[in-house]
């Protein structure tokens, strides 16, 4: 394949990726966006394999078979509840790939056309150093995010005295080591840079609490994009540079949007914690406060006689895999004349769009699903707000308690509905470790139990 033809095909693939991002911006066009993304990737892979510089098709085929088999196995076994940690794990692999490619380029630069060992082009060394730093931070940061989401380590912020000073020192050390790598081209500088970046990735994510995990996943997505962009410069592949820049910039923009939706500083999220063990312990004690409890029959009666119902899904719905039973319940309510809509908070779940994915899996109509800013005003005129597994994003303390760690975060105003039905396993606090004041409101009825089973029992009462 000629160089001009390859460049033309890479351009087409780049356009496909841009159209994919555009399509994924809306649920109605998401399927076409996925098709554009798959078409672009197919063009990119075939074009790359057709380039004259390919050394061993056998090794490439072996990698495709092994990777494809692992990917297929994971895809068939993964539950939707584990999607956030799966995404975090994928991000870690992109970061690790960036480190490996940079190491290969450092030890065999002639294979990449960037010089010979000991005499590598300075610009290539800068690209290599940045690629290693971003890739290593992405790798260990994503591993920590995976461990927190999987419950292997505590979701609470793990903080210690002087952590910000240590992170700042490591950041300065990264810059110094990149300069040392460019000027001295020593293996010691390369691996010291890698080690410092790996440590910084750990220390950046460990202090971040569970409530900020959606933003962290989005930021790690951005990091993985910039890591891929760095690989593109090392390999001299324009398409990889463009693709990495698209992923990196879109992930950064999404992170900013989510932080804005939480009334949070993006630097506060990346450098600080959210909630503490002490706050969580204090929030966990209900004292003499009482709550109203009800049954599935009570909930069915209230919703059957309601003219409007707003459903607020959260991570509890995902854990219970209740989206299909919930959709069946909503269909019955609509048959009985109720207007049913869904309210989605920007950070509901454990990754951006988590609730949207689950509702789409259950074939919930897109025109019934609304974001916070589009539906919040409707709660005041709603008969029933049905909260299923959403906790922190419905907590009125975010508006009323300046001492609360979630104070200032925009929430769904479910407390303004005439009746709030809250499906939850127990009185435990949410992922932020903050007790939900909504539990104790006069218009709230707690429905304790598994979310899926509760929806199924409500369906039986409605049917």
Residue 463 burial (10 A CB sphere; 0-12, 13-18, 19+): exposed
Query: For residues 358 and 318, is the Cβ–Cβ distance under 8 A?
Result: yes
Enumerate the active-site residues.
Answer: 392
Average pLDDT, the chain: 86
Average pLDDT over residues 446-463: 93
Q: What is the rounded CA–CA span in Å between residue 31 and residue 440?
A: 42
Lowest mean pLDDT among 24-33, 285-294, 339-348, 405-414: 285-294
Q: In the chain, what percentage of residues exceed pLDDT 90? A: 46
Alpha helix locations (H) across 3-82?
Answer: 3-23, 30-49, 57-77
Give rounded-to-5 percent helix, strand, coil for the chain: 65, 10, 25
Digit-coded pLDDT (tens) for 306-347:
999 999 999 889 888 899 999 999 999 999 999 999 999 987
The CB-side HSE value for 432 (13 A sphere, CA atoms) comes to: 25
Alpha helix locations (H) across 78-212?
Answer: 83-107, 122-150, 163-184, 187-205
- Whether the predicted pLDDT of 15 surpasses 70: yes
- Taking phi first (over 0 means left), then psi (-120 to 50 degrees means alpha), and beta for anything else, what does residue 158 get? beta
The residues, ordered by sequence, that sit 6+ positions from 245 with a Cβ below 8 Å of its Cβ are: 225, 226, 229
Element of type H or E holding 333: helix 323-335
CATH dotted code for 290-462: 3.40.50.1220
Query: For residues 327 and 462, is the Cβ–Cβ distance under 8 A?
Result: no
Q: Residue 199's pLDDT band (boundaries 50, 70, 90)? A: very high
Residue 151 burial (10 A CB sphere; 0-12, 13-18, 19+): exposed
Portions of the chain given CATH number 3.40.50.1220: 290-462
Q: What is the rounded CA–CA span in Å between residue 59 and residue 55?
A: 9
Count of other CB atoms within 10 angstroms of residue 217: 27
Digit-coded pLDDT (tens) for 234-284:
888 888 899 999 999 988 888 887 777 666 677 766 665 444 443 443 444
Average pLDDT over residues 105-134: 89
- The DSSP letter of residue 293 is B
Structural tokens at position 210? 């569970």
Lowest mean pLDDT among 6-10, 170-174, 188-192, 408-412: 408-412
Compute, in degrees rounded to 10, the torsion defined by CA atoms 335, 338, 344, 348.
-80
pLDDT at 283: 41
């Amino acid at each position: 394949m000629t160089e001009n033809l390859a460049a033309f095909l890479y351009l087409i693939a780049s356009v496909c990726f841009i159209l994919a991002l555009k399509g994924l911006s809306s649920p109605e066009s998401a399927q076409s966006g996925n098709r554009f993304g798959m078409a672009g990737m197919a063009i990119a892979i075939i074009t790359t394999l057709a380039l004259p510089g390919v050394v061993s098709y056998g090794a490439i085929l072996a990698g495709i078979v092994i990777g494809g088999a692992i990917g297929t196995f994971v895809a068939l076994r993964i539950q939707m509840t584990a999607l956030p940690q799966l995404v975090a794990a994928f991000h870690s692999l992109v970061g690790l790939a960036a480190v490996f490619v940079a190491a290969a380029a450092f030890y065999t630069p002639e294979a990449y056309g960037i010089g010979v060992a000991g005499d590598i082009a300075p610009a290539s060394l800068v690209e290599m150093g940045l690629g290693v730093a971003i890739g290593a931070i992405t790798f260990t940061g994503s591993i920590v995010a995976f461990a927190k989401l999987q419950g292997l380590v505590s979701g609470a912020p793990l903080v210690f005295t002087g952590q910000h000073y240590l992170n700042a020192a490591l950041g300065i050390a990264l810059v110094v080591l990149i300069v040392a790598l460019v000027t001295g081209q020593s293996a010691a500088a390369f691996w010291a840079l890698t080690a410092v970046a790996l440590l910084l990735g750990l220390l950046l994510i460990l202090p971040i609490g569970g409530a900020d995990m959606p933003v962290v996943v989005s930021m790690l997505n951005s990091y993985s994009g910039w890591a891929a962009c760095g690989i593109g410069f090392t390999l001299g592949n324009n398409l990889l540079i463009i693709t990495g820049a698209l992923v990196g910039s879109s992930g950064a923009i999404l992170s900013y949007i989510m932080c804005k939706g939480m009334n949070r500083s993006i630097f506060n999220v990346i450098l600080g914690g959210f909630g503490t063990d002490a706050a969580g312990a204090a929030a966990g004690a209900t004292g003499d406060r009482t709550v109203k409890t009800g049954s599935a029959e009570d909930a069915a009666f209230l919703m059957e006689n309601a003219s409007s119902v707003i459903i607020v899904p959260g991570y509890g719905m995902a854990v219970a895999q209740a989206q299909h039973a919930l959709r069946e319940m909503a269909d019955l309510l609509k048959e009985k004349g109720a207007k049913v809509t869904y309210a989605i908070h920007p950070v509901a779940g454990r990754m951006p769009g988590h609730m949207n994915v689950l509702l789409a899996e259950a074939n919930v109509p897109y025109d019934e699903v609304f974001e916070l800013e589009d539906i919040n005003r409707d709660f005041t005129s709603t008969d029933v707000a049905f909260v299923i597994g959403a906790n922190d994003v419905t907590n009125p303390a975010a508006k009323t308690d300046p001492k609360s760690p979630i104070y200032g975060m925009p929430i769904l105003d479910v407390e303004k509905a005439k009746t709030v039905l809250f499906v939850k396993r127990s009185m435990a606090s949410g992922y932020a470790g903050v007790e939900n004041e909504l539990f104790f409101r006069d218009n709230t009825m707690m429905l304790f139990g598994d979310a899926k089973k509760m929806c199924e029992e409500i369906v039986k009462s409605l049917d």
